[in-house]
């Protein structure tokens, strides 16, 4: 059976959006209505990778690719842009951002070039991105270093990007230990807000605490979004262990004391460390 190609997917998308014979659901969509699906598909790609589910990864990547095709079809219908422009734009950007691989900007140029060291590559990468940000700015003199960090990013990821960008110009702690001190300071301020009983102040201080926790993760070279996803998965495993243990004893969680549940939690932790008992 012949495999479908990218052109077939673009044709399929155009058919789905055909005003006379297309799909009613697809015809009703616009840029904004598709965004939640795009985010969901991106997370499903990440989830498949984290679980090592490479059998399903091509399907998840296809779902994500379809989102790009969808936006491109909307752009083509409105005369704004099409898929070819999307491909052209990203190819040109990556050529520009990799002068150490394409020094003359020729995609098919010679590949036998001297290798630059990693620090020089990173430095040039940031210079090029800064130039691109300046090109986008209507008033370069008012350009902020943080302007192009998307607001739609998950809050933890956006916090890390904001901090990383500020660190490029020296606005950063020199090491992890001062960040720990700041974390304790923010925790004390949460306690003070709790004592005041002002919910808005509490929320503000909790936000500050989370922001500093992200900074600590960055200093320790931990990606905070991935770390929290892993913590969520660990919580799920241990909570489900408690549920199964109680079910085996015909007990309800609501009837247990916190001490009993905590003991089962400890048992779940031990089993994770040691593995299930044999015999």
> What CA–CA distances, in Å, run from 223 to 26, 30, 230?
36, 33, 11
Q: Same topology for domains 6-81 and 155-222, yes or no?
A: yes
| pLDDT computed for residue 278 by the predictor | 45
What pLDDT, on a 0 to 100 scale, did the predictor assign at position 139?
A: 56
Token pair for 55: 């059998």
End-to-end Cα separation, the chain, in angstroms: 51
Q: What is the pLDDT of residue 181?
A: 95
Q: 97-145: per-residue pLDDT in tens? A: 888 888 777 888 777 766 667 777 777 777 777 777 677 665 555 577 7
Residue 91 φ then ψ, to 5°: -65, -45
Low-confidence spans in the chain with pLDDT less than 70 = 113-116, 133, 136-142, 275-279
For the chain, what's the residue count? 279
Parse the chain into domains and list their residue ranges.
Answer: 6-81, 155-222, 226-274
pLDDT of residue 279: 37
Least Cα distance to 70 among 88, 83, 57, 79 occurs for: 83
| CATH code for the structural domain at 6-81 | 1.10.287.1080
155-222 folds as Helix Hairpins (1.10.287)
DSSP 3-state of 34 = helix
Q: What token pair was written down for 199?
A: 């919910």
């Amino acid at each position: 059976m012949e495999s479908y190609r990218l052109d077939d997917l673009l044709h399929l998308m155009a058919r789905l959006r055909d005003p006379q014979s297309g799909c009613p659901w697809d015809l009703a969509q616009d840029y904004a209505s598709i965004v939640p699906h795009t985010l969901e598909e991106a997370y499903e790609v990440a989830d498949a990778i984290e679980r090592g589910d490479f059998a399903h990864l091509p399907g998840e990547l296809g779902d994500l690719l379809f989102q790009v095709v969808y936006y491109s079809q909307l752009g083509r219908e409105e005369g704004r842009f099409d898929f070819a422009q999307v491909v052209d734009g990203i190819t040109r950007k990556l050529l520009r951002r990799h002068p150490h691989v394409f020094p003359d900007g020729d995609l098919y140029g010679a590949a036998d070039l001297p290798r630059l060291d990693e620090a020089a590559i990173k430095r040039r990468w940031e210079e090029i991105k800064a130039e691109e940000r300046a090109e986008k700015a209507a008033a370069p003199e008012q350009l902020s270093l943080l302007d192009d960090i998307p607001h739609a990013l998950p809050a933890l990821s956006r916090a890390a990007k904001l901090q990383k960008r500020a660190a490029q110009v020296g606005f950063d702690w020199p090491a992890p230990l001062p960040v720990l001190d700041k974390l304790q300071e923010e925790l004390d301020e949460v306690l003070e807000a709790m004592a005041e009983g002002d919910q808005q102040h509490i929320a503000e201080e909790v936000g500050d605490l989370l922001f500093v926790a992200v900074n600590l993760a960055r200093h320790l070279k931990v990606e905070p979004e991935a770390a929290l996803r892993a913590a969520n998965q660990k919580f799920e495993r241990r909570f489900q262990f408690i549920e199964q243990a109680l079910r085996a004893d015909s007990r309800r969680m609501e009837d247990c004391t916190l001490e009993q549940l905590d003991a089962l939690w400890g048992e779940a932790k031990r089993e994770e460390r040691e593995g299930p008992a044999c015999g």
